[in-house]
A and B are shown apart, each in its own frame.
Chain A
Amino acid sequence: MEKYAVFVPKLIAKRESFAPGHRACVGCGEALAVRQACKALGRDAIIVNATGCMEVIATPIPYTSWRLPWIHTLFENAAATASGVEAGLKAMVRKGKRPAKEIRVVAMAGDGGTSDIGLQALSGALERGHDFLYICFDNEAYMNTGIQRSSATPYGASTTTAPAGKLSIGQVTWKKNMPAIAAAHDIPYVATACPSYPFDLMAKVEKGVSTPGPAYIHILSVCPTGWRCAPDLTVRIGRLAVETGIFPLYEIENGKYKLTIDVPQLRPVRDYLKLQGRFRHLSEEKVLEIQNRVNVDYARLKEKVACSQKLNS
């Protein structure tokens, strides 16, 4: 379990900003990720939430799970709304309408809302340099509307719009590298995280919100409903994504790469794939193809880390 001591209660905030009674599916990794992220945000935060599972499950009128100020935006413009909130807060200080106390602005969206439909708004907000944190909760498809593929769906996964069949392996494109796209904007902080590593996740969220300027965190969120896996395996599968190198945990601080969870010996990707129904149809050959791709991507990432270390010394 990471590098930390085991005694969780002493290490994390007691406050739950995301109340129980939400309607996420049994064993939802995305709800778990939101809950953990909120623990790192503290009280002085405003959440801007794009449409998607997390909006739908947490705010069915007349109920809300949110104990922080929260606004629902369209599917495509969470980053634009967050930009407006941030600019508005600044203007209020300038006009003497509120004290200069820091209020953290956090945009949240799914992988569809981030890597497809909200990408333009996000790119604009990162480029303009707003002081906010954007968190993408990546469950690798449009889950809220019934498991449609997105550009973040991994190669070979079966979805309702790219189903596996006699002549199809499901998704035929490789997962879009969203953290790299965010990093290409030269923003001060980019990170990947997964709720199977809660302390790593919370440390990154804390860093992201306290960094002046834009920050982007990409959180892999296991979705038992869409991934067709057992709900009790949510945390284990997230851990396997990291241990196999499929979803490495790293951060990019001012352009410098660092692996926050270093995996000296990667496990075979098969260990991760075999627990999920969405990959059940994959042949040995296809699994090997995925393995080769992961090896190359991981080696590339390690090169960037090594190069950053050289720059540091």
Chain B
Amino acid sequence: MTKPGGELTWKDLEIGAVMTEPGNASQYQTGDWRTQRPVHEHSRCIKCGLCAIFCPEGCIEPNEEGFFEANLFYCKGCGICARECWTKAITMVEEE
């Protein structure tokens, strides 16, 4: 587990500032940037996966039943998925 940026000192850095844990950005939450959240209506979803391929975060994945859903730990609420879904299975709702 990587120390969060705030707790890091120069002593923690590798020579050449090499980063040794591939993909550790996935420990970082970007979901708290969000002002709106996608709500997937499964009855309309045809499991095409288009929303997933157009997500800049790469955070949309099929659940156990194959319906696509955004991982809200990362989802920044851009709304591209809702805009692109052809069956209009996704609506953006404002975060409280």
Binding site for B on A (CB under 8 A): 1, 6-9, 12, 16, 18-24, 26-29, 31-32, 35-36, 58-68, 195, 198, 230-236
Q: Known: A16-B58, A20-B26, A21-B25. Contact between A232 and B83, CB under 8 A?
A: yes
Contact A63 B78 (CB under 8 A): no
Instruction: Identify which of B5, B22, B49, B78 gathers the most chain A CB atoms within 10 Å of its CB.
Output: B78
> Which chain B residues lie closer than 8 Å to A195 at the CB level?
54
Q: Which of A16, A21, A198, A232 contacts B28 (CB 8 A)?
A: A21
The reply to whether B54 and A63 contact each other, CB–CB distance below 8 Å, is no
Which of A9, A26, A63, A233 is the one whose CB lies under 8 Å from B33?
A: A26
Please give, as numbers and ranges, the residues of chain B lying within 8 Å of A65 by CB-CB distance: 23, 25-26
Are the C-beta atoms of A62 and B58 separated by less than 8 Å?
A: no
- A22 proximity list for chain B (CB < 8 A): 25, 30, 57
A235 vs B30: C-alpha distance when bound (angstroms): 21
* A32 pairs with B8, CB closer than 8 A: no
- CB of B2 to closest CB in A, whole Å: 5
Whole-angstrom CA separation of A240 from B91 in the bound complex: 23
Q: Which of B12-34 contact A (CB under 8 A)?
A: 12-13, 17, 19, 21-30, 33
Taking CB atoms and an 8 Å cut-off, the chain B residues in 43-69 that contact chain A are: 46-50, 52-59, 62
Contact yes or no, A234 B19, CB < 8 A: no
Closest to A57 in B: B25
Instruction: Determine the distance from Cα of A58 to Cα of B22 in the docked complex, in whole angstroms.
Output: 11
- Of all chain B residues, which has the CB nearest A28? B56
Across the interface, which residues of A come within 8 angstroms of B89, CB to CB? none
Interchain Cβ contacts under 8 Å between A and B, 24 examples: A6-B50, A8-B50, A9-B62, A16-B58, A19-B25, A20-B59, A20-B71, A21-B26, A21-B28, A21-B74, A23-B28, A26-B76, A26-B78, A27-B79, A62-B8, A65-B23, A195-B54, A198-B54, A231-B79, A232-B80, A232-B83, A232-B92, A235-B80, A236-B83
Contact A58 B25 (CB under 8 A): yes
Choose among A24, A58, A61 the residue that contacts B8 (Cβ–Cβ < 8 A).
A61
CA distance A136 to B43 in the complex (A): 40
Q: Report yes or no: B58 in contact with A20, Cβ–Cβ below 8 A.
A: yes
Contact B49 A66 (CB under 8 A): no
Q: Tell me the bound Cα distance from A66 to B20 in angstroms.
A: 11
Whole-angstrom CA separation of A36 from B62 in the bound complex: 18
B24 contacts A64, CB within 8 Å? yes
Task: Return the contact of A35 from the options B58, B71, B76 (Cβ within 8 A).
Answer: B58
B53 & A8 in contact (Cβ 8 Å cutoff): yes
Residues of B within 8 A of A62 (CB): 2-5, 8, 12-13, 19, 24
Please give me the 8 A-B residue pairs with the lowest Cβ-Cβ distance, nearest first. A232-B79, A8-B49, A27-B78, A21-B25, A19-B23, A21-B28, A32-B56, A20-B74
